[in-house]
Structures are given as C-alpha cells and as structure tokens.
Structure 1
C-alpha cells in the first residue's frame, strides 16, 4: 500500500492497545446465574457436572528476545515463546487469559500464581475447573486419574477428557483466525511486552467474533495432539483434591 514499515508498526501497536482497552469481554463466571449457564453448557457436552471452565496453556511463538534471559523463553518444543494460560466455556469463549509468562514456565506454576486460583480457594464455590495431568488435583481443579483402578474411574476419565478437550478447540480457532499466533506462520517479531499486547488483543477479538457469530475460518489448527504428547509428569497431588474427585466418581460414575 506504499506505507513505510515503521508507520504500519506504530499503527498496529496503537490499534492493538485500543482493542485491549475498549474490548472488556473476558470475564470469569463468578455470578450465580452466569455459573448456572456455564455448567449447563458443559453438562450438555458429555454429562460432566458442575464444570465452570476448562484450563490449559498454549505456546505463542515470538522472535528471540535480545536480552540476557532469552533462554528462559525457550519452551519445551524448542522455540522462543510466551506461555499463555486460558480458561474457556463450552461456547469456545475465553473467560480468563494470562499473558505474561515465559515459554519455559510450567503450566502448574502459572496456575498457582493466577488470580482465579486464589479466588477459587478463598470464596465459596459450587463447581470446579477441569485440567490435564500437568496440574495438581484440587477440590476446585479436577484432573484425570493417572492410573484408573476401577470402571467408574475409567468412565470418569473418559468423560473428563471429552469435556476438558473443549479448551483445545478455541485455541485452534484462535490461531486459525490470527495466523500470526501459530508456529506455521513463523513468530511475532516484537519485544516480549509488545507481543503480550498483540496476543491479548487477538484473544479479545476472538471473543468478539463469538459474540457476533463470525464464521470460523476453514482449516482449524488442532492443538490437542501436540499438547498431549508433551504433557510433563503430574505434580504432587492434594489429598483434599483426590477425595473430592473420588467422591464425584462414587456419586456420578459408579
């Protein structure tokens, strides 16, 4: 279009910052009516009760940062990245996004330091999130059994997986809408701080597209196969979490 690259760059970052300011559309369902709607949406998927969201992380590739700590940005897949944690509902809408952690940071560390985890501990709740085996099992964050011993535990695992995999779908749609976030398109060529703004703008625009019913682009990017094969060993489990999980198995999956 005959524009200088620096001019386009300034306009891009101004626009991304404006999106992040104006679009206030990423909200976790704390209200009773909101939670009922989210639970019903998840229950219709596979019959897993009281699910408030599915949580996971995804890597967004960035260029090698020209800083001393650049090695800390290298993710387990071998490239420089930002590790983004997100929670979604059954409609593929993101309800919480954390965009500030280096690629080498473990998902469980990001979760333990996020505001949602703190609030789930502090305030009364009637539901839980679902996470993979990379997270510790907690009363408010249920994970699958590493080695199921009974048929009810196997049924729990199967239903848990079908419900939790909901988080992989919006990641795929997000990266199909905004190819700059996917490794096949290279990486984001900005500083880590500016990359975080671009990434958050894309997440908010994704939610805007969901609200407006914008059609999903063809050729969804699938995340689940890539993520599952690299799941790190499960961290130390929580006794209360294991008890809550087994109680659910006894009540709903026996």
Structure 2
C-alpha cells in the first residue's frame, strides 16, 4: 500500500478511532494507542499477518489487539466516504462509470459499460442442520466444497460497486445473479448501457 493511500484512509477514520488520553491513562496507566498504530496492525492482520506477532510487536494483549481490530473495522464500515456505491445509483453515476471504461479501453471502443461482474464460491465449513434447513444446498458439486455463491461488480478501476451473497454453493452463478436485486436494475438501464 502506498503511504499516501494509508494517510488518506487514516484521515477518513481517525476521528472515530481517537481515544480519550485522560481516560486511558487513568484506566491503564499508559497513553492510548494511536489511530496510526491501530490501522497498521489491522491492515497487517488482514494481509495475512499472525496476530501473535503483530500484538507482540505492539505490546498488546490478545483481547487488546482484537478490540483494536474490531474498532478499525467498525470505523471502516461506518465511514460514508468508504461506502460502496451502486452503479445504478443515479444517471450521473451511470454516465461516469461508462466514461471510465471508455477512457481505459484501447481507442475508446468500450462504450456503455457500467461494470464487470463475476462470481466466486466462498468456501465455508459444512453448516449443521441447526443452522440451515438444507445442508446439501451449500455443497458445490463443481468445486466439491461447501460454500456460499458470491456475485460482485466493479468499476473500471477494480473498485467494488456492488455485491450479493444470497445463494448457497449449489446454485449456479447465472441463477445467483438473477436473484440479485441489482440484476433487475441493470436490465432496466437504457439500451446504450450494459
């Protein structure tokens, strides 16, 4: 990650992560953990780092690092600037998305495209009969694994603009797409958009 990207992300969630210095000192006898460190530890963990190594470097307890990571994830999820915006949110958005695809295509030949859609089987453990009525519905014969069918759409810069996880692994991707509410919105776009 570029340093400028880290700083931008931090600027968006810093107000939510700021801790009261007096309360922290009174409660723990130490200064509060800085938002920079909170974000860095969370990103390290999300990138596949071992939480024991990360917490050891930060001098935190296991519960402390999990509390830190949950605080960062909550801040990210509740930040309006980081919210995923639907490709069909407004006419202006539709035109901006289509223009982006035209601009990145060779000689501007890709016109009217508002997103790229793909599916993925998110592997899960086999659910129990207490969790779902039909355990077999989550088994994908193609992948020979239990999972949830995920459909997603992105813009010309590979940023997600929508996603859906409402189908078990047994369901074919084309059917899962049709069950997605965004599929109906896409079908209602003007003829010049796809």
Structure with more contact order per residue of length (Cα contacts < 8 Å, sep ≥ 6): 1
Residue 181 of structure 2: which of 111, 115, 119 is its match? 115
Q: Deviations over 1:146-174 (max 9, x none)?
A: xxxxxxxxxxxxxxxxxxxxxxxxxxxxx
Contact persistence 2:166–2:176 (CA under 8 A): no
Query: Residues 85 and 78 of structure 1: is their aligned pair in 2 closer, same or farther, counting only changes over 3 Å?
Result: same
From 53, 56, 63, the equivalent of 2:118 is 56
Pair 1:123–1:41, CA change in 2 (3 A):
closer
Whether the 8 Å CA contact 2:77–2:83 is kept in 1: the answer is no
Task: Check conservation: 2:87, 2:162, Cα contact below 8 A.
Answer: no
Work out the CA distance in 2 between the residues paired with 1:51 and 1:64.
38
1:91 aligns with 2:91: no
Tell me the equivalent position of 2:91: 32
Contact 1:88–1:96 (Cα < 8 Å) also in 2: yes
Deviation at 1:33, TM superposition (A): 3.0
TM-score w.r.t. length of structure 2? 0.53
Alignment gaps of 5+ in structure 1: 129-254
Question: Do residues 102 (structure 1) and 160 (structure 2) align?
Answer: no
Paired residues of 2:148 and 2:168 also in contact (CA < 8 A): yes
Partner of 1:167: none
CA–CA separation in structure 2 for the residues paired with 1:65 and 1:11: 29
Displacement after TM superposition at 1:3 (Å): 2.9
Q: TM-score, normalised by structure 1?
A: 0.42
Q: Which has the larger radius of gyration?
A: 2
Matched with 2:137 is 72
Give the paired residue count.
Answer: 125
Determine helix, strand or coil for the equivalent of 2:115: strand
- The structure-2 alpha-carbon separation of the partners of 1:123 and 1:45, relative to structure 1 and needing over 3 Å to count, comes to closer
**C-alpha distance in 1, partners of 2:93/2:169?**
33
Shift of 1:70: 2.3
Alignment check: 8 A CA contact 1:58 1:83 kept: yes
Asked if the contact 1:26/1:97 (under 8 Å) is kept, the reply is no
Q: Report the Cα offset of residue 119 of structure 1.
A: 1.9
RMSD after superposition:
2.9
Structure 2 unaligned spans of 5+: 1-54, 56-60
